[in-house]
Amino acid sequence: MKIYNAVKFILEFIETNLDKKFCIACLAKETGLSAIHLQRVFMMTFNVPLVKYIRLRKLSASLKKLAFYDYRIIDIAGEYGFEHEQSYIRAFKREFGITPGQFKTTGAIIKTTPPFTMDVFIDTSDGILFTPDLVIIPEMFVIGDVNHITREESVVKAPRVAREFWDTNRCKVKNAIDENVYIGLTRLLNEGRDSVYLSGMQTSSMKDVPDGMAADRLPPSEYLRFCYIGKHHYYDLNQNVMKEMYKAIDRYARENKAHLVEGAVYFERIDGAKYDGTYCYLEWFTPVSAKP
């Protein structure tokens, strides 16, 4: 099962089975992923452990029964898959700081966890692309290998020169802010027919540029940030993966009503320290401005 479909299946299964006791290994088997891989991809996607999300959904769903109806706590515990009343009470207090009984009698205000959805994700053949969030990045410097790339060769050549820099030349950059982070900076030329691609690392300044390399500066700006999770190594970010990702980004840019993507410059950011042996994580940024 594809990553997108696996996560979608898990979310829907949880919502229709809140009264069950969940077996993570059994859930994983339904998706074709191992239990470890399922929990990893869920954590990467939502930044919440799968086990914790299941517990939060059970507890959140139980709050209505506690607040609106005169159900016994033991009956509510059984309805949401807790084997014992005390198990439910301990989980409730651990999460909300009070017992179910205290919630009913004190008028306490508790924030619930609504069901997660796939509305903020775009399905791709090799992974999941998040619909973007808006971020602000201060002044940024990049030093690395500079390459002139045509539009036709961009999805093939850019991944290749990125790997060459990372394997061979990154050690030459002495003032990198984080030695695990790769930056691929693209500046479009000739109305997008050509580009200058800087495969490098973010640095603390534009000083100490190694021989044969170049430096670039990005001014402070507001950016759209897309995030991609793929079930493959970073080195397998090939032309097929990149084409599909860019197609999804272009579609979003055409359809989005709130922001205009400034296409003259963009960059990808890959933190090698986040690679867990199975899933890669890539961030893609482009400056934006409000549409008139």
- Segment (H or E) for 204: none
Query: How far is CA 92 from each of CA 58, 101, 248, rounded to the nearest angstrom?
Result: 10, 10, 41
**Residues 115, 113: Cα–Cα separation, whole Å:** 7
Token duo for residue 123: 């399905």
Q: Where in the chain is the domain with CATH 3.20.80.10?
A: 127-290
With beta carbons less than 8 A apart as the criterion, state whether 40 and 276 touch. yes
**Residues 140, 56: Cα–Cα separation, whole Å:** 39
Please give, one letter per residue, the 3-state secondary structure of 85-99: HHHHHHHHHHHHCCC
With beta carbons less than 8 A apart as the criterion, state whether 146 and 198 touch. yes
With beta carbons less than 8 A apart as the criterion, state whether 146 and 214 touch. yes
**CATH ID of 3-114, from 2.60.40.420, 1.10.3720.10, 1.10.10.60, 1.10.150.20:** 1.10.10.60
Residue 114 is predicted with a pLDDT of 92
**Residues 181, 220: Cα–Cα separation, whole Å:** 19
- The CATH homologous superfamily to which domain 127-290 belongs is Regulatory factor, effector binding domain (3.20.80.10)
Token duo for residue 241: 């993966």
With beta carbons less than 8 A apart as the criterion, state whether 237 and 230 touch. yes
Which long-range contacts link 190-194 to residues 24+ away (Cβ below 8 Å)? 192/151, 192/263, 193/150, 193/151, 194/148, 194/149, 194/150, 194/151
**Residues 160, 158: Cα–Cα separation, whole Å:** 5
**pLDDT digit string (tens) for the chain, length 292 residues:** 788 888 999 999 999 999 888 899 999 999 988 898 889 889 888 889 999 999 999 999 999 889 888 889 999 999 999 989 999 999 999 999 999 999 988 878 999 999 998 887 777 766 788 878 889 999 999 999 999 998 888 878 888 999 999 999 999 999 999 999 999 999 999 877 899 999 999 999 999 999 999 999 999 988 989 889 887 888 887 777 777 787 778 777 777 765 666 668 999 999 998 887 778 889 999 888 755 4
Q: Which amino acid is at 196?
A: V
Residue 262 is predicted with a pLDDT of 65
Residue 79 is predicted with a pLDDT of 93
Q: Where in the chain is the domain with CATH 1.10.10.60?
A: 3-114
